[in-house]
């Protein structure tokens, strides 16, 4: 039991943005739950990177599909096993299955909505129970610049990310009086495995359209998450914070 520490549950924390978010919370002294889909090696590496920070909080790994109720339940139970409380939920797990609308299969649509949106719904619903009891909570969902502006080839993904924004605002309205905030972050182009599939040529073209003229890092996003999770950010709720080098302006 790590009784004097806060607990943060981060989905999709095996790699990329989620990994940096988990490390950032651990460095701040939180117990962290690292959710991931199936890549054990990557998740163990996140754990190792946390431990190398030398802080002595609790770290638990939970493998499973975030769109399944049993996984969501296990994630919440694991988070509560540290102190009985859950201060921060970060809905970060996400996938892409890009294609033009004319060619997109219903299963590509469903799998993206299930992971990116249903998973966040299940976890938010289960997280608010302990958060209401403790009269404190921070729910932070990783949306995207394309959830605000749309993007050709990403009907499924942009719908899921726009859905996260609507969900965030509704949660914020339902729970503001209970001292639970809900905010979304809309990253632009961040260097991770997800964007690693793009060719250098495509990346160059995208970078040329970003006012900052470069892709962002996972740390840029983690930094914004820490800000929204802070006790002193309690009057910020229902917002969408862009972390995009000016891309979405």
Binding site for ligand NAP (CB under 6 A): 11-12, 14-18, 35-39, 42, 65-67, 92-95, 115, 142, 144, 187, 189-190, 192-195
**Closer Cβ to ligand NAP, 16 or 58, answer by number:** 16
* Closest distance of CB 135 from ligand NAP, Å: 29
**Closer Cβ to ligand NAP, 177 or 201, answer by number:** 201
Q: Which pair of tokens denotes residue 88?
A: 């921060």
* Closest distance of CB 143 from ligand NAP, Å: 7
Alpha-carbon distance of 208 to 49, in angstroms, equals 33
**Closer Cβ to ligand NAP, 42 or 132, answer by number:** 42
Q: Which one, of 198, 189, 207, lies nearest residue 146 by Cα? A: 189
* Closest distance of CB 177 from ligand NAP, Å: 29
- What is the DSSP pairing of strand 240-243 with strand 31-36? unpaired
235 belongs to the catalytic site = no
34 membership: H or E segment, kind and range: strand 31-36
163 membership: H or E segment, kind and range: helix 155-175
* Closest distance of CB 178 from ligand NAP, Å: 26
**Closer Cβ to ligand NAP, 5 or 123, answer by number:** 123
Other CB atoms within 10 A of residue 189 CB: 22
* Closest distance of CB 193 from ligand NAP, Å: 4
Largest CA distance in the chain: 53
* Secondary structure of residue 75 in the 3-state scheme: helix
Residue found by looking up tokens 């495509």 in the block: 202
CA distances from residue 160 to 43, 48, 73, 121, 154 in whole angstroms, order as listed: 24, 32, 22, 11, 10
**Closer Cβ to ligand NAP, 83 or 91, answer by number:** 91
Catalytic residue among 26, 36, 157, 235: 157
Q: Phi then psi for 90, rounded to 5 degrees?
A: -115, 110
Q: Any idea which residues carry the catalytic annotation?
A: 157
């Amino acid at each position: 039991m790590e009784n004097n520490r806060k607990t943060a549950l981060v989905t999709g924390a095996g790699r990329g943005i989620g990994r940096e978010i988990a490390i950032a919370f651990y460095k701040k002294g939180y117990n962290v739950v690292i959710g991931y889909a199936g890549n054990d090696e990557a998740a163990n590496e996140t754990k190792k990177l946390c431990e190398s920070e030398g802080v002595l909080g609790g770290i638990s790994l939970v493998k499973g599909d975030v769109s399944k109720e049993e996984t969501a339940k296990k994630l919440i139970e694991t988070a509560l096993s540290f102190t009985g409380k859950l201060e921060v939920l970060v809905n970060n797990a996400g996938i892409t299955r890009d294609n033009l609308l004319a060619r997109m299969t219903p299963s590509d649509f469903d799998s993206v909505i299930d992971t990116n949106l249903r998973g966040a719904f299940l976890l938010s619903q289960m997280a608010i129970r302990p958060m209401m009891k403790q009269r404190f909570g921070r729910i932070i969902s990783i949306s995207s610049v394309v959830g605000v502006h749309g993007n050709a080839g990403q009907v499924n993904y942009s719908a899921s990310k726009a859905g996260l924004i609507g969900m965030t605002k509704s949660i914020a309205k339902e729970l503001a009086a209970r001292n639970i905030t809900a905010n979304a972050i809309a990253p632009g182009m961040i260097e991770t495995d997800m964007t690693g599939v793009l060719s250098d040529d495509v990346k160059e073209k995208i970078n040329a359209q970003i006012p900052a003229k470069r892709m962002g890092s996972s740390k840029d996003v983690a930094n914004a998450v820490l800000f929204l999770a802070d006790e002193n950010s309690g009057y910020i709720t229902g917002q969408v914070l862009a972390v995009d080098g000016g891309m979405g302006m």
